[in-house]
Structure 1
């Protein structure tokens, strides 16, 4: 531990100890005081005192308690040398310390505060000189001691917070200074006055001042007891209400408040009369105002009633934002400006607007946009509000599991509030906004109720004209609100709730649509956001198409926008590096990898040559259409069928149905009746780590099996989709638009589709159909004729002399010697 010299400023009895500043506390010699210490400097000073200074520390009071890090001038000159009796560390990082005052000490703030020592930590030390008593014992002093001790007995009687043992201990002290020091901690006076007593070195004078304070404290405590007794008597005489009212009036008068319940009730009644609500609702609210008249404004129930009335009066009961005479052409232009494609939602909105201009009142429709993330469900709801010139509100219901979020709490609960619907209407101040209920499929139920069941009344056009919120307990008309809900999957929405809504599916964007969105919306938006000019960056159509195909795999365009933003960032960095704000950067298909790096995704393409047992299928996913290869191989065996490729239950059942269909048609296919007992069949769908399932792979699986059994290749430029029955019928499928796009992208020329899906071709873009030969089929026989190379069984079996496994399966009339 370092030593310090005093430079001759202090007498030989000067000492150096760690110093700790106190806030609003004055430590006196011969007194024991517990304190909670939380400041780092104070904790370090205590730890150093315990470790290196025999538990001795110098305590000095701050002049300004609010200072967190006081300087030397912020501390009083006289403090108390104290001893640390106990120290307890608490979980919150503070420590509880029991101090015992030892003696007064004086220091000079200008010269005696030692700077912070690095090796000791951040805490101050002080050089000080212990102060002695300056007075002498006199007869007057002895009389003063007796008078003080007599007053102590009375003080103990009126102040029950002081322990009788402490009064008894002080009554035995014969030293004036010590008696004064031990009385001071028990008096409730300001710390600055206590500091004055500490700085008084004459013990007789000090005790005399303490005596004055003690008598004043006795009188104050006595007055408090008398006031409490008087108030208690008044309360016992049924005067409690009068007393509190008088207090409130006096306080309000002093603060300049005008709190007249009668005038307030009259003002609320005037506001109620101006509200366009039903007479039944008006009468119920008027009863609440009448009830409020009889209450005192200081009561808790008064606050509850007043809050309820304020909620009712703040609602836009019949405040309608005028939306008649809507310009349909302008509304169409707004929708087209904000969104590319999405023709069905746009058409439905324009139909609503057209009807709205022809009728005076129309119940608001409830639309449900269902589709994967990123396809624009919420943003089109915002565009709808803009095209209708209405206010827009968005409420996220994802994770909501409390029914009160929709219907509100009953007023009997503490902190009760209306539901989200009513709160939103109060905020928007109109009764006909567009409200978007996001993620309606992600609500759940628990012991607090089922919020999806509460939405039934909100979203039912036949009921929501009289929606009853639990908090309001009044019928409120929601029929003029245009509700739009969004969901990722219909499976998460209960069937009764689905029945209340008009479902509009947004399946995702095609590649061609994504390219147009990127050119017309995303690229100009990102160029502006990144501080570029339109001439600074030019991206070719082929480059945008490659970004869509090789760097994103999604139904929407969120990742596409991120990749375009990455191109803009790289371009901005190049412009700043070259110090040329007019620089023009051209992004082509060839330069794309230098900017975005190695491609992240691939897409299915057809095989280069026709192969036996390999067939091109088409699948639909939330990310769009995909080419799906099906491979079948035969091995000598005993009829075992193995299916791999992480297929779901539906596709596994399709494979078993395909085997059964072929067995039932073995005679027509030229196969032996027991062909299935002679070989093991392995069906595999590549990309085994990806789960695959769906009711559209039956045709593909059957064709691949027949190709392997007959040893006839399947056309490599042909793809197919459809499900089969055991009788060979081809059943319709979904997602035709996405599947045909995948076929077009995979360089397929001919696609076989179920005949029942021929009507869906009108939804497919014409630029895709012109490059594809789409053939509707009804039966498996038609599929075989189109898919296998050749058109007669004599041609089909031309090569099985080269494949002994397939040859052993055919009947004799279909076999011929192997070619030499």
Structure 2
């Protein structure tokens, strides 16, 4: 039996020496972490014992090729030039001041952390000895400071962090061993080298036991000192310990979230990679399949690293709020490990089954609605909000960025036609209603296509040289959007409110009438439950303070109240209309007219307190577009209004109110 078994084994074809040999050479020559090298060796040993005609042989080859193709140690050096980075961001994007500041702050931190300087503190109570050591080390290019005793040295350690302390052992007030213990307690990363003229074996052993990195006897061998300090300086690895933040760009579509991520990669000098997560439902797409399955593949995360060839790219997780989940798992759970700086250095793909370090990557996520993210995932993200652009900003973006690109794409370059600012403003206000500029880019493309047709039909000599507002209106047709405008005359029971939608701010009219009835409250206009509760709260407040408003309390029981917000086909939800409804009801029952040039926003309580709301910037800009002169906002929103001072501030007077009764004298005519 043994004879036949050996004979059968002898006729099996040997594994291809080229495949096995090449893999062994790659494993030995490539710079791999210990766990990856061991996994590769185990797989290679298994492969050597496998029949090349077996399916497992091809699986093993693919696994080893993928493992060795990952960039375990390959990184691109960061370009930490703040001026260059700012120039890149400014050239690619107009506005977005807070986002650019956040990126530059990150680069500044990286630049300071990656500084190559090696700081040394020399401590000796003999002035000549200390001065000599300082001179020698300073000539070697190190940053050196001195201290006359241990107490002075501790004061220096508390003020600044040193990479190395070179200290005498015998000193007044505090000896070298005491300084060693205190310095390591204050700054655990600082190394300490002891120098003494009373060198003994016992003191050397005690110094090393307490954490000293070296022990020198006096008189000091300067060559030995230089070599030792140089070796310690070479081991400095501070930049590798920098933990990159996980930024999450949140905001409406078309505001430049993805393109800002690309600009960050360009400013850093890193490679950029984007994964679209919209509709992703299978967790295995990210984390990979186990090799027990036929046709198993690594996850999209590690596949991206293998294609990029570097371990520190700028990695964009686009549309992270649109991930789905079903019986195949929750893909968002993978990000709990990927995006946690405490865990992602040991990210394990099911296919690779060996930890891969993701901590050197700068992750950027984008989301339209943060409410769709789970609490644990949102906790790992540093949210950077993208707000909508003002009309003035959109016009500048169109003139400086969008229009030149569209003209080149449509061949309108000999010569470039001129598009006036009025034509761009007409396009922005009448043909787009969005927070970003994506639809604006499409409308500019429509203009360019029509101009291209006219140029071909009429010839170069008759080409349109300038597009003014009238020509833009003729090219684009009737405007689909007409914004609300402020009324011309004071009105009874009709208040102007401010709301925030996906496309930015807008003004609305809140209309209130009363009629004979039984005290019923009617609400129309496709209102959500929050808005309905705000209206009930406002009516209860007005009824409870009827005496202060000069209203007969009996009216509320004998009359019905009907509150309506026009555009009934559009659903309305939110918590910023309470103040507007309360003022409209106060006007209705008191008989005093409301000013048409005053708009309000804010939520209220039953006691009349005005609560803060969101979207203040967009609401004030909407009021300015509609011709509003005064805007009443909650007192608690004063910081948001103050933040607008540096922008293209609209010509609107903003007043802050803390209660409904502080707003009434300002709103009533």
TM-score (norm 1): 0.64
**Could you say what the CA RMSD is over the residues aligned between the two structures, in angstroms?**
2.0
> 1:237–1:781: structure 2 CA closer, same or farther, 3 Å change rule?
closer
Which of 371, 375, 380 is the aligned partner of 1:500?
380
What residue is the counterpart of 1:309 in the other structure?
64
Which of 111, 115, 140 is the aligned partner of 1:357?
111
> 1:604–1:767: structure 2 CA closer, same or farther, 3 Å change rule?
farther
2:12–2:51 contact (8 Å) kept in structure 1: no
What is the alpha-carbon distance in structure 1 between the residues aligned to residue 649 and residue 277 of structure 2?
41
What is the alpha-carbon distance in structure 2 between the residues aligned to residue 319 and residue 767 of structure 1?
43
What is the alpha-carbon distance in structure 1 between the residues aligned to residue 642 and residue 658 of structure 2?
19
What is the alpha-carbon distance in structure 2 between the residues aligned to residue 449 and residue 285 of structure 1?
30
The yes-or-no answer on 1:291 pairing with 2:46 is yes
Greater than 6 Å deviation, 4+ residue runs: 235-238
Shift of 1:592: 2.5
2:252–2:387 contact (8 Å) kept in structure 1: yes
Which of 22, 25, 30 is the aligned partner of 1:270?
25
What is the alpha-carbon distance in structure 2 between the residues aligned to residue 289 and residue 626 of structure 1?
66
Trace 1:472-491 onto structure 2 (pairs within 5 A). Answer: 472-491=352-371
**Structure 1 counterpart SS, 2:51:** coil
> 1:731–1:501: structure 2 CA closer, same or farther, 3 Å change rule?
same
Shift of 1:447: 1.7
What is the alpha-carbon distance in structure 1 between the residues aligned to residue 70 and residue 646 of structure 2?
51
1:524–1:534 contact (8 Å) kept in structure 2: no
1:397–1:439 contact (8 Å) kept in structure 2: yes
Shift of 1:241: 5.2
**Structure 2 counterpart SS, 1:612:** coil
What is the alpha-carbon distance in structure 2 between the residues aligned to residue 767 and residue 505 of structure 1?
17
Which stretches in structure 1 are left out of the alignment for 5+ residues? 1-232, 250-258, 790-820
Shift of 1:551: 0.5
1:536–1:584 contact (8 Å) kept in structure 2: no
Shift of 1:276: 2.5
What is the alpha-carbon distance in structure 2 between the residues aligned to residue 534 and residue 438 of structure 1?
38
What is the alpha-carbon distance in structure 1 between the residues aligned to residue 341 and residue 636 of structure 2?
35
What residue is the counterpart of 1:280 in the other structure?
35
What residue is the counterpart of 1:520 in the other structure?
400
What is the alpha-carbon distance in structure 1 between the residues aligned to residue 397 and residue 524 of structure 2?
39
**Structure 1 counterpart SS, 2:632:** strand
What is the alpha-carbon distance in structure 2 between the residues aligned to residue 781 and residue 609 of structure 1?
23
What residue is the counterpart of 1:14 in the other structure?
none
Shift of 1:535: 4.3
The yes-or-no answer on 1:628 pairing with 2:384 is no
**What per-residue deviation string (whole Å, max 9, x for no partner) do you get for residues 345-373 of structure 1?**
22111111112122222222211111122
The yes-or-no answer on 1:260 pairing with 2:19 is no
What is the alpha-carbon distance in structure 2 between the residues aligned to residue 243 and residue 286 of structure 1?
26
What is the alpha-carbon distance in structure 1 between the residues aligned to residue 634 and residue 552 of structure 2?
30
What residue is the counterpart of 1:675 in the other structure?
555
Which of 665, 679, 686 is the aligned partner of 2:545?
665
Which stretches in structure 2 are left out of the alignment for 5+ residues? 114-238
The yes-or-no answer on 1:335 pairing with 2:89 is yes
Shift of 1:240: 5.5
What is the alpha-carbon distance in structure 2 between the residues aligned to residue 489 and residue 275 of structure 1?
44
**Structure 2 counterpart SS, 1:682:** strand
1:536–1:582 contact (8 Å) kept in structure 2: no
What residue is the counterpart of 1:424 in the other structure?
304
The yes-or-no answer on 1:453 pairing with 2:333 is yes
TM-score (norm 2): 0.78
Shift of 1:719: 0.6
> 1:523–1:778: structure 2 CA closer, same or farther, 3 Å change rule?
same
The yes-or-no answer on 1:545 pairing with 2:300 is no
What is the alpha-carbon distance in structure 2 between the residues aligned to residue 638 and residue 467 of structure 1?
67
The one of the two structures with greater contact order (alpha-carbon pairs below 8 A, sep at least 6) is 2
What is the alpha-carbon distance in structure 2 between the residues aligned to residue 746 and residue 470 of structure 1?
57
What residue is the counterpart of 1:559 in the other structure?
439
Shift of 1:543: 1.5
> 1:582–1:475: structure 2 CA closer, same or farther, 3 Å change rule?
farther
1:744–1:768 contact (8 Å) kept in structure 2: no
